[in-house]
Structure 1
Amino acid sequence: MIENTVYQNELSGKVALVTGGTKGAGKAIAERLKRAGAQVIVTARNAPDDTGHGLYFVAADLSAPEGAAGVAKEVFGKFGGVDILVNNLGGSETPAGGFAVLTDVDWEQTLQINLLAPVRLDRAFLPQMIKNGSGVIIHIASIQGKLPLHDSTLPYAAAKAGLINYSKGLSKEVSSKGVRVLTVSPGGIMTDAAQRMMQRISESSGISVEEATQSVLNALGGVPFGRFAKPEEVAELVGFLVSPRAGYLTGTEFVIDGGTIPTV
């Protein structure tokens, strides 16, 4: 395999933090960076059954300011900082039914997880990166930042649009100081969270899970590639972007959606 041969040592000596790194795409990203030689720290609310392959776990609820502060304190105390920060944590737990069923709590919780958590962690680790004159920050956004779905993920789409804009603005500020900032916007990824979303749509609409999945595909205008992404495919893109091979890339959004977005 490519990742086990050509690239296996390219991140040796680097410390990487991957939020939401125990499941789905986050877990795949963490494992990909570990295979490239990095010391990888992962965060989540609850410890996984097996962090696997020497990953260092920090329990944290990043939807609150104290969660980010706790992660920063432990990481600085244990590792002295990070070279790579992958803000992967995100998701939508809001109900289906459009704007009218969404409460202030729905909006606030979604914005906290998908936008403010990355902002807080960037604020915690950027000064050290700037002092070192190097570092890479990856924001995992979504094609919903440009192609929103109104039925069940409107707050999520709005938060990811904000994250994309914030990421670009941040890159303009810190790239000249040696820190690269990039956005990765996946389309559908077949994770456990995605399956739960399909289940919620199924229950609220009185249709099967298969019909709910097809309705999401239809709402997106279809996926020319014919399927959602595998977590490992997103991880491989991130693995490249944080590597020295991508040293001139900053301020750019990379879309990985199987051709879903229909415009240039």
Structure 2
Amino acid sequence: MEQQFSFNDELQGKIALVTGGTKGAGKAIADRLSQAGATVIITARNQPEEANKRLYFISADLSTAEGTQKVVSEVLNRFSKLDILVNNLGGSETPGGGFKALTDQDWINTFQANLLAPVRLDRGFAPGMIERGTGVIIHIASIQGKLPLYDATLPYAAAKAGLINYSKSLSNEISPKGVRVLTVSPGWIMTTAANRMMERIAESSNTSVEQAAQSVMDALGGIPIGRPAKPEEVAELVGFLVSPRAGYLTGTEYVIDGGTIPTI
């Protein structure tokens, strides 16, 4: 029997935006914040597979400057403010095979989605948070920022390392003005996107999907807890960090990886 939580409407009256909020961890985070009483906006290029009247959807390609500006404008025009920004959008669509298999465009596309999208959204929403003296910005990074998988996701790992560094720097600048900035770095999360990545690795290396998954596990050094994370487990951490219960937390990276990273 799963444990039940009471969120007590702790985010009542808050406006939250979750990027990449239609699938995987993003969907779980959006649902978690909505359960806590927030009005939740989600963005993605494509419509959610399942309609949810509690979530306000904006279709946008956040890998472009035009897409991020569309989201900033629509949120502020419709809701007048934003209290919580969860920069969850991210992923890797580059081929396996190491550095020689990667083109300039592979690097550019990966950095646009994983680093520049959150930078642009922060630039759009943080000034309003600073003006009101309150707000929370979450950057969803990855343990690959410290534990890169060179054969499969080198640009993604580099982009997430940049995001972690940027997040800390942003926190130092705007936390004194009332806006908390935090980084969440998950390990392997069992999502549809993760399954697709295994298929790409298998195709490029001429192996099975199971062998590709095992190669990722081996490259990570194993997961001591014995399994990938569930999207809901990442969402629960984010739900706590954006809540008033975490009011003294800022400028910190929270790793949720089942013990994958082998150092302290």
Q: Do residues 256 (structure 1) and 256 (structure 2) align? A: yes
Do the aligned residues in 2 keep the contact of 1:14 with 1:38 (CA within 8 Å)?
A: yes
Q: For 1:145-184, what aligned pairs fall within 5 Å after superposition?
A: 145-184=145-184
The CA deviation string for residues 197-219 of structure 1, in whole angstroms up to 9 with x for no partner, is: 00011111121111111110000
How many angstroms does 1:259 deviate by?
0.1
CA contact (8 A) 1:8 1:35 kept: no
Contiguous gaps of at least 5 residues in structure 2: none
RMSD: 0.8
Aligned counterpart, 2:189: 189
Contact (CA 8 Å) 1:91, 1:156: kept in 2 or not?
yes
CA distance in 2, matches of 1:114, 1:84: 19
Distance, in Å, in 1 between the alignment partners of 2:163 and 2:248 is 22
Separation in structure 1 between the aligned mates of residue 4 and residue 65 of structure 2, nearest angstrom: 39
CA distance in 1, matches of 2:139, 2:190: 19
| Stretches of structure 1 lacking an aligned partner (at least 5 in a row) | none
User: Contact (CA 8 Å) 2:89, 2:113: kept in 1 or not?
Assistant: yes
Alignment of 1:19-34 (within 5 A): 19-34=19-34
* Residues 43-87 of structure 1: per-residue CA shift (max 9 Å, x gap): 000111334151000000000001010001100011012100000
Partner of 1:52: 52
Matched position secondary structure for 1:255:
strand
- The one-character-per-residue Cα deviations of 1:81-127 (angstroms, maximum 9, x if unpaired) are 21000000000000000000100000000000000000000000001
For 1:1-264, list aligned pairs within 5 A: 1-3=3-5, 5=6, 7-264=7-264
Whole-Å separation in 2 of the counterparts to 1:254 and 1:53: 31
- The answer to whether the Cα contact below 8 Å between 1:22 and 1:51 also exists between their aligned partners in 2 is no
TM-score normalized by the length of structure 2: 0.98
Give the number of equivalent residue pairs: 262
CA distance in 2, matches of 1:127, 1:173: 12
Secondary structure at 1:183's aligned position in 2?
strand
User: Percent of counterpart pairs with the same letter?
Assistant: 73
Q: Secondary structure at the match of 2:86?
A: strand
Aligned-partner SS, 2:67: helix
